[in-house]
Copies of this chain bind each other. A is one copy, B any other.
Amino acid sequence: MPITRVPLREQIHSELLDRIHSGDIPPGSRVQDTTLARQLGVSRTPVREALIRLARDGVLDSDTGRGFRLRPFARAELRDVGGILAVLEPLALGLAPDFSPERLTGLADLARQLEQARGDVARIVELDEAWHRSLLADCPNRRLLELIATLRQVPRRYLHAYLREARRVSLSALHHTRVLDALRRGDRSAAAALLERRWRRGIQEMEGWIP
């Protein structure tokens, strides 16, 4: 087992993301370092570091001297971030080398699991996340992958809430197989185009629902 010392700030960061995605923290509500530090049994310092990062990533709002609060859902934010991802994910896909049979099988597996996960929101979102990560994993531009991962946090939060509240069992899971087919044919640009269209459609669908 590789011994890894993970700084508290990162552990706290993940924990907070989980809470946010699961809806434990309602949009617009305050997020106080004192409270969290007490709850998690750590000091305020690493908590604040995690909060500052979340604020920079656009998950939290922070007015100087007035602390942090969970950013309320907003069409504009979803559209903005979606517009960026609609360009970056196809870019990453285009940069990846040819797909190995193993990778393709893995993707097909995930797609199958996704179809069977109807209803279980947390699982759907997690599998969709895994599918995309696997799709782009071979892209040599590490920086791009990290950026995509950070940006995806935003629509992910919306997707969670959308699936939960709009009672949609899944978000057009169909596209997974379509992209996969294109990759099997070796048609990378078709796959990239499908991926882009999927983003635009998905964002549009969620936008319509935002209160």
Contact = CB atoms under 8 A, between A and B. Distances in A.
A199 to B, nearest CB: 13
Contacts of A81: 143
Mostly helix, strand, loop or mixed at chain A's interface? helix
Given A7-B64, A56-B53, A65-B5, A80 B45 contact: no
A144 B65 contact: no
B80 A143 contact: yes
Interface in A67-115: 77, 79-81, 83-84, 87-88, 91, 95
Copies of this chain, whole number: 2
Interface residues of A, number: 28
A84 B144 contact: yes
A84 B80 contact: no
Contact of A77 (B49, B84, B143): B143
Contacts of A147: 84, 147
16 contacts: A5-B65, A6-B64, A7-B64, A45-B45, A49-B49, A49-B52, A56-B56, A58-B143, A80-B142, A80-B143, A81-B143, A83-B141, A84-B144, A84-B147, A87-B87, A147-B147
